[in-house]
Amino acid sequence: MDEKTSTPSKIIKNKLQSKTDATRLTLIRAGISVFSRKGYDGASNRLLAKKAGVNLALISYHFGGKRGLYFAVIRHVSHKLGVRFAPALKKIESEFSQLEQIETVEKQRDACLNMIKVLLSANLDLLLNRQTASWAMLVYREQQLPSKAFSLLYNESLASILSALEKPIAFVIQRKVSDPEVKLLALSLLAQVQLVRSARHMLLQHMGWETLSEPEVMQLKNYLSTQVDTLLSLRHHLPR
């Protein structure tokens, strides 16, 4: 078959592939919306198809059923989280590798504390972003009622965030990265940020806030910064 004959066939194939990819993405986006609001059990195939605006049979055709779609949704969100956090993680990795170039230990500690604050702030911004609110709700649901997809979520996004926190924490409190104290501190600090999602309405009610606008967000970030300084300073002075 010559090149002229094969070209139309290739164009048709590419168009069909593009249409397939577009349908899969539409279903995944619908899945993010529905699963985040309804959970896995509360999301029916009919509801998912209606949200996507596609034929019900396409869920089985593209994903083998609701379970396959759910895994695709978690994989998609994990990838998006990885992309979103990549700049902050790369910056921390670079700064931490150059830590020895800073002249005093005290300034090195300050640099590490700043790395932690930057990463927590980035996490807070993501949780408060309306465009990523459904991602955050899915992550929250998976932490509360983990499915078999949780390992995927943890390994492809959450683990890298915790690991990035553990390195500067370990330096500040003068422990090994593998020390349980370091791991628990990383979890504790990240959990404080996730309070914005997991206990949002209680936070607003208790603080007397109508919404989380810029002044309130700044107050939260200042509080987190103080918490990092206080908590890690206390741990730094505790006996091993």
Contacts of 86 (CB under 8 A, 6+ apart): none
Taking the C-alpha atoms of residue 216 and residue 233, their distance in angstroms, rounded to an integer, is 26
pLDDT band at 239 (very low <50, low <70, confident <90, very high): low
Q: How far is CA 125 from the centre of its chain?
A: 11
pLDDT band at 176 (very low <50, low <70, confident <90, very high): very high
Give the chain's domains with CATH numbers: 3-64 (1.10.10.60), 74-237 (1.10.357.10)
Cβ burial of 165 (10 Å; 0-12, 13-18, 19+) is buried
User: For the segment 88-99, what is each residue's pLDDT rounded down to a tens digit?
Assistant: 899 999 999 999
Structure tokens at 123: 């996490």
Residue identified by tokens 């990549």 is: 86
* Mean pLDDT score, 103-121: 94
Taking the C-alpha atoms of residue 53 and residue 27, their distance in angstroms, rounded to an integer, is 9
Is the per-residue pLDDT at 5 higher than 60?
no
pLDDT band at 19 (very low <50, low <70, confident <90, very high): low
pTM: 0.82
Is the per-residue pLDDT at 168 higher than 90?
yes
Give the residue from 226, 229, 217 showing the smallest Cα distance to 122. 217
Is the per-residue pLDDT at 16 higher than 70?
no
* Mean pLDDT score, 49-76: 96
* Mean pLDDT score, 2-9: 56
* Mean pLDDT score, 185-196: 90
Q: What single string gives the DSSP state of each residue in 43-87? A: --HHHHHHHHTS-THHHHHHHSSHHHHHHHHHHHHHHHHHHHHHH
Cβ atoms of residues 127 and 136 within 8 Å: yes
